[in-house]
């Protein structure tokens, strides 16, 4: 049911524009005092969050608010507050509000604080723009906006001090260093996500060329565009191109390598952008397209390939990243790999949504998005505080911190167990739903997808506990002992503690109300599909015992295996053990060699190419052209010179110089650039004649 509540349509507009305005005001607020600067920026996020909450009432009553204004070229700008958007919008708004509060304490005294507030608020606004926009093009604006903020915030510490780097300094793969400066990491993220964005833009273009509209409601209500695209064989490519944008933004294989290195940014940024919100934009995009694509796949079965790709990428990425998290020694990098892995779960669910369980798949993805946003943001916030406290990003410099910061330990444990998927925390319910959805009606494909989810769950449980063990339990490391002597380890201040308290309690609350929560998100999804779906009629799967038991046992096995190794006594992963397990460890430690491979292929050749271009093209070709032209011209002119030097030159030079420089004219024989310009015009004219003749002959 669409409600044109024009009186209330300003709310979605305000939800995304207020933080943008807040960001733009940051430099002005900064002039009015430090407290106003910090809390003023937070206030904008809070108002936006409150307005987002007020939209929940529409979603709960199954209403959708859709408001449009004319933009250009027949395209309309608009907001679409349907249940899906409202749900994600609330997640974004509240998580970002808590992180903004945390930032007040965490970024205290940072010299770039104004820039920080500007980009944070600007980011929130653009993220809400993605969520609330009613068409693909406007969504792309927000998409690029968050990309820009991500780039700027990863490189926030652009001065590149050694302690802000990411990666182990002595780690080399194929002679390539695996530690990156914040600027480098920012550029890496920018370029890798841009690769996806180019694909996405191309996809949007294609759809626009055929549909002449990009509004989601128009795309779903009239599908002649899909028919036309299908007949020219472009339907599947267009969706796959859009998927390219999604996997770039959400750091899925093969564009996943930027996210672990994006951890060079401030931890609050990692929490907000690289865990809770921006990287979910890809998930959101697929969820937006899923009902349309699913309905179309009934008419055009080729689209099942699209969903299959989504599911395969998700399942594989989940396993790939989780395996790397097992061996990582940096606290934030564990969390980053884990983020990639958990987003893989969401892609798995979305892929399954189009294959067999539309409602269940989207519900699973959205539920996991919600619970992951909470526990992962919380984990990052605690991690940020710990890294700050022990002055090192390596878990080998931690250990035994429990007695110094008991509250942080408790919260970290709860959040980590939620990540591990232990009942009754929120992560359990959402992960279980995804695993059961991915099984679908069974069959080989379902079993494969489910197995990737289950094995990942096992790994997730293991690395979660390993992470807790290495940081809080076990023997204190030398670094911690040193800090203990100085008596500098203490519990976090209030502005830092409250946000992760709130997020941990949230994950418990959602966990306790798990089935209830699942039902309400399912209701949201249903409303959304009914609103946007093209009369899709896709069978849902009934719950079965297999997924539940296998995922639960995977979690327990994972926890049990990891416990003796890491929780009861501290142990680092280095140096490597020998034999097969050592080789495996090294393989994972070297990020499956994918990162190094990308550098070999895409990064290293460039300086060489540039050098070669400089050497051969610049030096040889252009210089020689000059020389050849010069020789040709002097050759021609020499014939003339002998004829008219004495006669005409004498008169000519007499005008400015009294005839004394006639010899000068002949002697000066170096190529001046002004001459080249004249040649170029003449040669240009001749080449136009040649070119047009060639084209003419070719056309004939």
Piece in contact with other proteins (CB under 8 A), picked from 390-398, 430-438, 515-523, 684-692: 684-692
Q: Is residue 542 close enough to count as binding other proteins by CB under 8 A?
A: no
Q: Is residue 479 close enough to count as binding other proteins by CB under 8 A?
A: no
Please tell me the distance from the alpha carbon of residue 92 to that of residue 90, in angstroms, as a whole number.
5
Q: Is residue 172 close enough to count as binding other proteins by CB under 8 A?
A: no
Q: What is the DSSP letter of 618?
A: I
Which residues share a beta bridge with 678?
A: none
Piece in contact with other proteins (CB under 8 A), picked from 71-79, 91-99, 244-252, 594-602: 71-79
Smallest separation, CB 183 to other proteins (Å): 8
> Of 580 and 669, which CB lies nearer to other proteins in the complex structure?
669
Interaction residues for other proteins, span 85-144 (CB under 8 A): 141, 144
Smallest separation, CB 679 to other proteins (Å): 6
**Beta carbons within 10 angstroms of residue 588's beta carbon:** 18
Q: Is residue 606 close enough to count as binding other proteins by CB under 8 A?
A: no
The dihedral sign for the CA sequence 202, 203, 204, 207:
positive
Pattern 264-303, other proteins, x by CB under 8 A:
----------------------------------------
Piece in contact with other proteins (CB under 8 A), picked from 83-91, 219-227, 524-532, 650-658: 650-658
Piece in contact with other proteins (CB under 8 A), picked from 164-172, 224-232, 567-575, 666-674: 666-674
Q: Given candidates 47, 56, 158, 308, which one binds other proteins under the rule CB under 8 A?
A: 158
Minimal CA–CA distance to 124: which of 41, 182, 65, 198? 41
Q: Is residue 490 close enough to count as binding other proteins by CB under 8 A?
A: no
Smallest separation, CB 700 to other proteins (Å): 8
Please tell me the distance from the alpha carbon of residue 638 to that of residue 292, in angstroms, as a whole number.
75
> Of 195 and 513, which CB lies nearer to other proteins in the complex structure?
195
Smallest separation, CB 616 to other proteins (Å): 15
Helix, coil or strand: residue 253: coil
- Contact of 419 with 338, CB cutoff 8 Å: yes
What are the distances in angstroms from CA 187 to CA 48, 115, 122, 182? 30, 18, 19, 9
Q: Is residue 607 close enough to count as binding other proteins by CB under 8 A?
A: no
Q: Is residue 670 close enough to count as binding other proteins by CB under 8 A?
A: yes
Q: Given candidates 54, 159, 553, 627, which one binds other proteins under the rule CB under 8 A?
A: 159
Q: What is the DSSP letter of 163?
A: G
Q: Given candidates 10, 71, 174, 616, which one binds other proteins under the rule CB under 8 A?
A: 71
Smallest separation, CB 371 to other proteins (Å): 34
What are the distances in angstroms from CA 658 to CA 266, 497, 643, 649, 667? 73, 89, 21, 11, 18
> Of 479 and 671, which CB lies nearer to other proteins in the complex structure?
671
Q: What is the DSSP letter of 566?
A: I
Q: Is residue 661 close enough to count as binding other proteins by CB under 8 A?
A: yes
Please tell me the distance from the alpha carbon of residue 333 to that of residue 330, in angstroms, as a whole number.
5
Please tell me the distance from the alpha carbon of residue 213 to that of residue 74, in angstroms, as a whole number.
8
Q: Is residue 657 close enough to count as binding other proteins by CB under 8 A?
A: yes
Q: Treating both helix axes as pointing N-terminal to C-terminal, what angle do 136-154 and 235-249 enclose, rounded to 10 degrees?
A: 30
Smallest separation, CB 681 to other proteins (Å): 5
Q: How many helices (H) and strands (E) does the chain have?
A: 29, 5
Interaction residues for other proteins, span 195-214 (CB under 8 A): 198, 205, 209
Q: Is residue 699 close enough to count as binding other proteins by CB under 8 A?
A: yes
> Of 32 and 689, which CB lies nearer to other proteins in the complex structure?
689
What is the DSSP code string of 265-331? S-HHHHHIIIIISGGGHHHHHHHHHHHHHHHHHHH-TTHHHHHHHHHHHHHHHHHHHHHHHTT--BH
Helix, coil or strand: residue 107: coil
Piece in contact with other proteins (CB under 8 A), picked from 449-457, 488-496, 585-593, 653-661: 653-661
Q: Is residue 642 close enough to count as binding other proteins by CB under 8 A?
A: no
- Which H/E stretch holds residue 72? strand 64-72
- Contact of 79 with 133, CB cutoff 8 Å: yes
Smallest separation, CB 198 to other proteins (Å): 8
Piece in contact with other proteins (CB under 8 A), picked from 151-159, 381-389, 395-403, 497-505: 151-159
> Of 141 and 563, which CB lies nearer to other proteins in the complex structure?
141
Q: Given candidates 109, 301, 658, 677, which one binds other proteins under the rule CB under 8 A?
A: 677
Pattern 41-70, other proteins, x by CB under 8 A:
-----------------------------x
> Of 516 and 678, which CB lies nearer to other proteins in the complex structure?
678
Q: Is residue 688 close enough to count as binding other proteins by CB under 8 A?
A: yes
Q: Is residue 602 close enough to count as binding other proteins by CB under 8 A?
A: no
Smallest separation, CB 153 to other proteins (Å): 13
Q: Is residue 31 close enough to count as binding other proteins by CB under 8 A?
A: no
Interaction residues for other proteins, span 386-445 (CB under 8 A): none
E-only strand ranges, 85-179: 172-173, 176-177
Minimal CA–CA distance to 157: which of 188, 186, 193? 186
Smallest separation, CB 520 to other proteins (Å): 37
Question: In degrees rounded to 5, what are phi and psi of residue 203?
Answer: -60, -45
Q: Given candidates 221, 549, 553, 664, which one binds other proteins under the rule CB under 8 A?
A: 664
Please tell me the distance from the alpha carbon of residue 337 to that of residue 343, in angstroms, as a whole number.
10
Burial class (CB within 10 angstroms; exposed 0-12, middle 13-18, buried 19+) of 288: buried
Q: Is residue 691 close enough to count as binding other proteins by CB under 8 A?
A: yes
The footprint of other proteins on this chain (CB under 8 A) covers a number of residues equal to 55
What are the distances in angstroms from CA 384 to CA 186, 496, 650? 19, 10, 83
Smallest separation, CB 664 to other proteins (Å): 6
Q: Is residue 678 close enough to count as binding other proteins by CB under 8 A?
A: yes
Which residues share a beta bridge with 69?
A: 77
Pattern 328-367, other proteins, x by CB under 8 A:
----------------------------------------
Please tell me the distance from the alpha carbon of residue 112 to that of residue 153, in angstroms, as a whole number.
11
Please tell me the distance from the alpha carbon of residue 630 to that of residue 680, in angstroms, as a whole number.
12
What are the distances in angstroms from CA 115 to CA 37, 264, 320? 11, 17, 35
Question: In degrees rounded to 5, what are phi and psi of residue 112?
Answer: -95, 30
Please tell me the distance from the alpha carbon of residue 314 to that of residue 452, in angstroms, as a whole number.
9
Piece in contact with other proteins (CB under 8 A), picked from 36-44, 259-267, 561-569, 676-684: 676-684
Piece in contact with other proteins (CB under 8 A), picked from 317-325, 417-425, 454-462, 645-653: 645-653
Q: How many residues does the chain have?
A: 700
Please tell me the distance from the alpha carbon of residue 116 to that of residue 103, in angstroms, as a whole number.
9
Please tell me the distance from the alpha carbon of residue 27 to that of residue 117, in angstroms, as a whole number.
9
> To the nearest 5 percent, what fractions of the chain are helix, strand and coil?
75, 5, 20
Which residues share a beta bridge with 176?
A: 173
Residues that bind other proteins (CB under 8 A): 27, 70-73, 141, 144, 155, 158-159, 183, 194, 198, 205, 209, 633-634, 636-637, 640, 648-649, 652-653, 655-657, 661, 664-665, 668, 670-685, 687-689, 691-692, 695-696, 699
């Amino acid at each position: 049911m669409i409600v044109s509540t024009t009186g209330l349509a300003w709310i979605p507009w305000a939800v995304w524009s207020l933080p943008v305005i807040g960001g733009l005001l940051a430099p002005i607020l900064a002039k009015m005092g430090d407290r106003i600067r910090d809390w003023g920026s937070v206030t904008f996020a809070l108002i936006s969050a409150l307005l987002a909450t007020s939209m929940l009432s529409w979603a709960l009553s199954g209403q959708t608010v859709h408001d449009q204004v004319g933009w250009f070229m027949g395209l309309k700008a608009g907001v679409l507050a349907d249940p899906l958007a409202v749900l994600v919008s609330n997640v974004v708004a509240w998580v970002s509000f808590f992180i903004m509060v945390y930032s007040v304490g965490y970024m205290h005294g940072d010299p770039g604080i104004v820039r920080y507030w500007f980009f944070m608020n600007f980011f929130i606004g653009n993220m809400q723009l993605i969520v609330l926009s009613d068409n693909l093009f406007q969504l792309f604006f927000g998409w690029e906006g968050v990309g820009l903020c991500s780039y700027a915030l990863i490189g926030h510490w652009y001065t590149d001090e050694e302690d802000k780097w990411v990666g182990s300094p002595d780690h080399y793969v194929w002679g390539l260093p695996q530690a990156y400066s914040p600027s480098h990491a920012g550029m890496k993220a920018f370029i890798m996500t841009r690769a996806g964005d180019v694909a996405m833009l191309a996809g949007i273009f294609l759809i626009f060329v055929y549909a002449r509209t990009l509004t989601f409601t128009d795309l779903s209500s009239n599908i002649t565009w899909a028919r036309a695209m299908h007949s020219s064989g472009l339907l599947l490519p267009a969706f796959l191109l859009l998927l390219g944008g999604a996997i770039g933004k959400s750091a899925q294989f093969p564009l996943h390598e930027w996210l672990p290195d994006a951890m060079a940014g401030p931890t609050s940024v990692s929490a907000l952008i690289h865990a809770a919100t921006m990287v979910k934009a890809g998930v959101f995009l697929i969820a937006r397209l899923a009902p349309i694509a699913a309905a179309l796949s009934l008419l055009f079965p080729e689209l099942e390939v699209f969903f299959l790709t989504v599911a395969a990428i998700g399942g594989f990425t989940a396993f790939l990243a989780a395996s790397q998290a097992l061996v990582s020694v940096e606290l934030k990098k564990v969390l980053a790999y884990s983020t990639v892995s958990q987003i893989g779960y969401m892609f798995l669910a979305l892929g399954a949504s189009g294959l067999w369980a539309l409602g269940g798949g989207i519900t699973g993805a959205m539920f996991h998005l919600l619970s992951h946003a909470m526990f992962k943001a919380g984990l990052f916030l605690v991690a940020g505080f710990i890294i700050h406290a022990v002055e090192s990003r390596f878990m080998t410099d931690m250990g035994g911190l429990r007695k110094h910061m008991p509250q942080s330990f408790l919260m970290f444990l709860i959040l980590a167990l939620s990540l591990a998927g232990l009942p009754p925390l929120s992560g359990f319910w959402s992960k279980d739903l995804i695993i059961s959805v991915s099984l679908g009606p069974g069959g080989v494909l379902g079993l494969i997808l489910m197995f990737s989810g289950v094995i990942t769950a096992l790994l997730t449980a293991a690395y979660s506990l390993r992470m807790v063990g290495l940081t809080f339990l076990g023997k204190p490391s030398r670094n911690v002992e040193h800090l203990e002597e100085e008596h500098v380890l203490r519990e976090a201040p209030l502005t830092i503690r409250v946000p992760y308290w709130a997020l941990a309690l949230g994950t418990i609350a959602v966990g306790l109300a798990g089935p209830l929560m699942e039902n309400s998100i399912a209701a949201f999804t249903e409303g959304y599909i009914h609103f946007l779906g093209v009369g899709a009629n896709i069978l849902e799967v009934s719950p079965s015992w297999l997924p539940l038991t296998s995922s639960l046992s995977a979690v327990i096995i994972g926890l049990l295996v990891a416990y003796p190794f890491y929780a009861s006594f501290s142990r680092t992963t280095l140096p490597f053990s020998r034999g097969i397990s050592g080789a495996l460890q090294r393989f994972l430690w070297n990020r499956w060699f994918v990162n190094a491979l990308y550098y070999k292929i895409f990064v290293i050749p460039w300086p060489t190419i540039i050098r070669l271009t400089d050497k051969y093209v610049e030096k040889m070709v252009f210089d020689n052209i000059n020389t050849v032209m010069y020789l040709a011209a002097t050759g021609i002119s020499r014939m003339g010179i002998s004829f008219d030097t004495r006669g005409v030159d004498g008169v000519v030079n007499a005008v400015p110089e009294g005839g004394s420089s006639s010899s000068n004219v002949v002697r000066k024989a170096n190529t001046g650039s002004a001459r080249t310009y004249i040649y170029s015009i003449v040669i240009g004219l001749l080449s136009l004649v040649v070119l047009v003749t060639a084209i003419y002959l070719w056309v004939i």
